[in-house]
């Protein structure tokens, strides 16, 4: 994807009023998942909305303690989701309505408990912003690989709350990172479908679906429904 106007960098700030509006009203004990890609119109919107969809399928509700968002390192601020991305979400029965693109800002990283990026470059950009983001920032596929190696019995049961379970999952994944490396550098990448035909968008949607399923199962303690 071609980067838009470079006049607005990753570290540029929203106004204090906008930041207050963004984060006010959330439960004090909440867990925020931030999905990051480049333009925030293709990959990260798909990942955000599929995460919400799968959590609702598992728990019956979404909201309150678990917050799922997205942003782009060169995000098209205020832009709609790409139409092919909307179609991919429709294929999975997920809701694409009301989406608005965002540029990744310091405040998004500061308030995120888990940052999942499309590529290693995105991960590096998030970590370079500081805010002690290293231990809670992974590529999506990297996090999936680590989560699969974690014994669910070592995580707090859902009865203790999804927030406590999610925080424990992130700590466990971070502890495993140096021991469970990717077989290839490309194994941790979700490639950009921007400008590609719908068939390629659908293949990326399938990749994201396959990566998210074990993550949401680990977060919620509830496996996907079959049949």
- Using pLDDT thresholds of 50, 70 and 90, give the confidence band for residue 182: confident
Token pair in block for residue 182 = 């990717």
Say what the pLDDT of residue 24 is.
38
Say what the pLDDT of residue 168 is.
97
- Using pLDDT thresholds of 50, 70 and 90, give the confidence band for residue 158: confident
Q: Check if the beta carbon of residue 195 is closer than 8 Å to that of residue 187.
A: no
Q: Which domains does the chain have, with CATH numbers?
A: 31-218 (3.40.50.2300)
DSSP string of 115-154, one letter each residue: EEESSHHHHHHHHHT-TT-GGGEEEHHHHHHHHHTS-GGG
Main-chain phi, psi angles of 112, to 5 degrees: -85, 135
Give the Cα separation of 172 and 129 in Å (integer). 23
Q: Is the pLDDT of residue 63 over 80?
A: no
Give mean pLDDT, residues 204-219.
Answer: 97
The per-residue pLDDT for range 10-51, each reduced to its tens digit, is 333 232 222 222 333 444 589 999 999 999 999 999 999 999
Q: Check if the beta carbon of residue 73 is closer than 8 Å to that of residue 127.
A: no
Q: Over pLDDT 90: what percentage of the chain?
A: 72
């Amino acid at each position: 994807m071609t980067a838009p106007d470079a006049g607005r960098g990753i570290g540029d700030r929203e106004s204090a009023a906008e930041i207050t509006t963004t984060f006010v009203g959330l439960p004090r004990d909440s867990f925020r998942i931030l999905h990051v890609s480049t333009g925030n119109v293709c990959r990260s919107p798909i990942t955000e909305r599929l995460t919400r969809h799968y959590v609702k399928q598992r728990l019956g509700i979404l909201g309150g303690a678990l917050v799922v968002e997205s942003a782009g390192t060169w995000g098209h601020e205020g832009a709609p989701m790409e139409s092919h991305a909307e179609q991919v979400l429709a294929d999975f029965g997920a809701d694409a309505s009301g989406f608005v693109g965002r540029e990744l800002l310091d405040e998004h990283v500061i308030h995120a408990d888990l940052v999942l990026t499309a590529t290693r470059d995105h991960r590096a950009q998030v970590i370079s912003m500081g805010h002690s983001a290293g231990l809670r920032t992974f590529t999506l596929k990297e996090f999936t690989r680590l989560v699969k190696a974690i014994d669910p019995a070592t995580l707090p049961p859902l009865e203790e709350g999804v927030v406590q379970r999610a925080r424990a999952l992130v700590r466990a994944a971070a502890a495993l990172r140096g021991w469970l490396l990717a077989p290839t550098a490309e194994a941790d990448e979700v490639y950009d479908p921007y400008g590609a035909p719908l068939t390629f968008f659908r293949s990326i949607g399938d990749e994201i679906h396959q990566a998210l399923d074990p993550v949401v199962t680990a977060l919620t303690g509830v496996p996907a429904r079959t049949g």
